[in-house]
A and B are shown apart, each in its own frame.
Chain A
Amino acid sequence: AQTVTQSQPEMSVQEAETVTLSCTYDTSESDYYLFWYKQPPSRQMILVIRQEAYKQQNATENRFSVNFQKAAKSFSLKISDSQLGDAAMYFCASLLGGYGGSQGNLIFGKGTKLSVKP
């Protein structure tokens, strides 16, 4: 069974600084995807970044980047130049791959609440 663990219930960062959110996962499969989602007070889950397990290169999306350590089953999110609008709940999630796409369903961690101080 897949599991996703986020050990930081809350984090805080000063505006314009950098923060790293931690995530570990467990799976016996070799084909899978990892995601970071942002959930602001509007409640909608918004995709921040996606990583394919077969890719060694860490994914990057503007100010957001990941540190994917496959052997350690670690998938941390780094937010650079933090902005007030980054304040939200952040969820790490995994999805099994297969058939050229995916199979199964998203498995989420419990989330990390990020606060950004002006």
Chain B
Amino acid sequence: DAGVTQSPTHLIKTRGQQVTLRCSPKSGHDTVSWYQQALGQGPQFIFQYYEEEERQRGNFPDRFSGHQFPNYSSELNVNALLLGDSALYLCASSLPAGTGYTFGSGTRLTVV
């Protein structure tokens, strides 16, 4: 059973750079949500994609953008990286209006 796959698992970037994180949803799921989890905190909602469009967005600046492809996979892009962007980025897939979220193991981003 293919769960949610995220890549890469770890990443180190320099302030001011740009980064792209990738997510493949669970088979049968077509909705992808992204969360940022700072150290010692609970995950914070970034945005959700469905039918290749951003469906909802949390309280994150425009430096955070995303994309969903026809095969339902998704990318999270962060521009002009700040030290405060260092976190675990989690991807979760679901059905639209579903309550069953499947999470990936995340990408650990470190900004130096």
Contacts and interface: CB of A to CB of B under 8 A. Distances in A.
Contacts of B40: 110-111
Interface in B51-110: 56, 58, 88, 90, 92, 95-101, 103-106, 108
Contacts of B108: 43
Interface residues of A, number: 29
Interface majority SS on B: helix, strand, loop or mixed? loop
Interface string A22-60: 000000000001000100001111110010000000000
Contacts of A85: none
Interface string B9-36: 0000000000000000000000001010
Interface stretch (A13-21, A69-77, A96-104): A96-104
Nearest to B98: A101
If over half of A's interface residues share one DSSP class (helix, strand or loop), that class is named, otherwise mixed; here it is strand
19 contacts: A33-B99, A43-B108, A44-B106, A45-B92, A47-B100, A47-B101, A95-B99, A98-B97, A99-B97, A101-B96, A105-B33, A105-B45, A105-B48, A105-B56, A105-B58, A106-B35, A106-B101, A108-B44, A110-B40
User: Which 7 residue pairs across A and B have the least CB separation, nearest first?
Assistant: A101-B97, A108-B42, A45-B103, A105-B45, A44-B105, A43-B106, A102-B99
